[in-house]
Structures are given as C-alpha cells and as structure tokens.
Amino acid sequence: MRRSEFWRRVRQNPLTLFGGAVVISLFAVAIAAPYLPLHDPYSIHADAVLEDPSIKFPFGTDELGRDVLSRVIYGARVSLWVGFVSVGIAIVIGTVLGSMSGFYGGWVDGLIMRFVDVMLCFPTFFLILAVIAFLEPNIGTIMAVIGLTGWMGVCRLVRAEFLSLKERDFVQSARALGVGNLRIISRHILPNSLTPVMIAAILGIAGAILTESALSFLGIGVQPPTPSWGNILTSGKDNIQIAWWLSLFPGLAILLTVMAYNLLGEGLRDALDPRLRGL
C-alpha cells in the first residue's frame, strides 16, 4: 500500500484521529512532567489533607495532602513505561516462537502450539496473580510478568503469517538461489508479517496498562509512594464517601488511555487492511 493511500484512510476515520491525538498528548504530558509547573507528587501538605479540587490543587489532594493532579500525570509515566516494556517482551517472545513454528512446521510447530494451548488454558490475570504471589511486587516484576504471560496471541498471529508467506514465489526464489533459512526468515518473511504484530502491540499496550492498574489497585503492583493510577484508585476506595475526586480522575485517565489505544489500533488495522473493516 502506498503511504499516501494509508494516510488518506487514516484521515477519513475521526475515531482513529481522536485516539492518535490522545496517545500523542499523553506521551507529551508524561515526558514533559518534570518541566511542568506542578506540585511535587511526593510532597505532603499537612494543611490540605483531602482538600476539594481548587485552583491550587485542580484535582484535589489525597489522604496525605499530596497533589492528585501531579500524581495522575506522574502515574501516566509509570503506566506508559509498564505498557511499552511488557508489550516489548511479549512481542519478542511471540515473534521468535511464531516464526519458528510457522516456518519449520512439523514437530517444531506441534511442540510450540501445544505449549501455547497450555498457556491459554490459564486465565491470564489469575496466572499473573499466582506468579506475583511468589515474587516481590515492584515495577520490574510487573513488566516482566505481564510480558511473559502475554505473548501467545502474537505467536499465533506471526505463525499464521509465516504459514502463508513461506509458500509465496519470492520465498521459493530465495530458496532456489541457496539463501539460508535464517536469512529468509529475517530478510524476506518477517518484514512482510509485521503489520498484524504492530496492531497487536498497540492493542496490547492498552491491555498492559489496564492490568498494571488492576494489580496496583489490589496492592500487588506498583508500590506507594510511587504514583500509579491503580494505587491512587485504592486511596479513592478507602475515602469514597468524602473524596470522590480520588476515584474520578485516575479512573478517567485509565478509561481515556485504554480507549485511545484501542481506537488507534482498530483504526490502523482498518487502514492497513480494508478487508477487515466492519469485522
């Protein structure tokens, strides 16, 4: 597909543009957070405990008098970091195993696919809970566990692409010229199978952010005082009767971010492969 045709299709979808604008804005705010005129997200204001939203504290304060706006913005940095690193781990594992499975077939394909089936038998979130129960809950553990339990879908996507592409004429021509398997995989097949992987990565970031927020809400994710949307929601749960803002603003941040990534991923999928539109 020509680049101009791709961008024309993207511009015709307002939901994709909205999702992209939200994602870019989130990135910009998260990166610029240290340079914005914000209160220190760790600073305690003893005279402003559970203060309503005001000009000084636009999102109010929590039970320790910390600025919720600052903590939500710095929590975005944590969520994006967890999302990208964990999805990166999943993409690498899924791409390697999917490539081997689809290219070599036979017992290699059977062994990898049976392992994928076993992994898919376990509910992902409960599998993550079980693993974290034996490990120290911190941001590194969260990223690793989410990545190591989220590669199965990518593996299946890459395998399906390889099964289709390895029978194409350009691959057969490369084999006839004596090109090695590793070069055929890395230079000829893999670059042509990255579109569904890219879409899966975008959608996977939304899922990873949601998972991290849920784990932090349960107290086994990112640990205080490090700000995370999930642990801010925990404070909101504990003070729901008197501090509605502690639940509203981080909840809206999670909702808007996950929705934006899903809209962007679906829109790019439709633009790259119009045959999938409406499915």
Whole-number pLDDT of residue 93 = 94
Nearest to 80 by CA among 213, 197, 214: 213
Residue 118 exposure: Cα atoms within 13 Å on the Cβ side: 6
- The pLDDT, as a whole number, for residue 154 is 92
C-alpha 258/C-alpha 210 separation (Å) is 7
pTM, rounded to two decimals: 0.87
* H/E segment holding residue 99: helix 68-104
pLDDT for 2 equals 65
C-alpha dihedral over 212, 218, 222, 228, to 10 degrees? 70
Amino acid, res. 234: T
The SS3 of residue 61 is strand
Indicate the Cα dihedral angle 230, 234, 239, 245, nearest 10°.
Answer: 0
Q: Is 65 buried (19+), middle (13-18) or exposed (0-12) by CB count in 10 A?
A: middle
Name, in order, each residue with C-beta under 8 angstroms of 184's C-beta and a sequence gap of 6 or more.
Answer: 103, 171, 174, 175
Supply the pLDDT for residue 241.
Answer: 85
- Alpha-carbon distance of 270 to 275, in angstroms, equals 8
| CA–CA distance, 45 with 213 (Å, rounded to integer) | 25
What domains sit in the chain, N to C, each tagged with a CATH number?
3-276 (1.10.3720.10)
DSSP 8-state code for residue 185? I
230/253 Cα distance (integer angstroms):
10
Per-residue pLDDT at 28: 93
Q: How far apart (Å, rounded) are the C-alpha atoms in residues 110 and 116?
A: 10
**Cα–Cα distances in Å, from 212 out to 20, 46, 97, 170, 244?**
22, 30, 25, 42, 22
DSSP 57: S
User: Cα 14 vs. chain centroid, distance in angstroms?
Assistant: 22
Distance CA 161, CA 164 (A): 5
Q: What does each of the 279 residues of the chain score in pLDDT, given as a tens digit?
A: 566 777 787 888 888 899 999 999 999 999 998 898 888 999 988 888 889 999 999 999 998 899 999 999 999 999 889 999 999 999 999 999 999 998 888 899 899 999 999 888 888 788 788 877 777 777 888 888 899 888 999 999 999 888 888 888 888 888 887 778 788 888 888 888 888 888 889 999 999 999 989 888 888 888 888 889 998 998 888 888 888 999 999 999 999 999 999 999 888 888 776 554 444
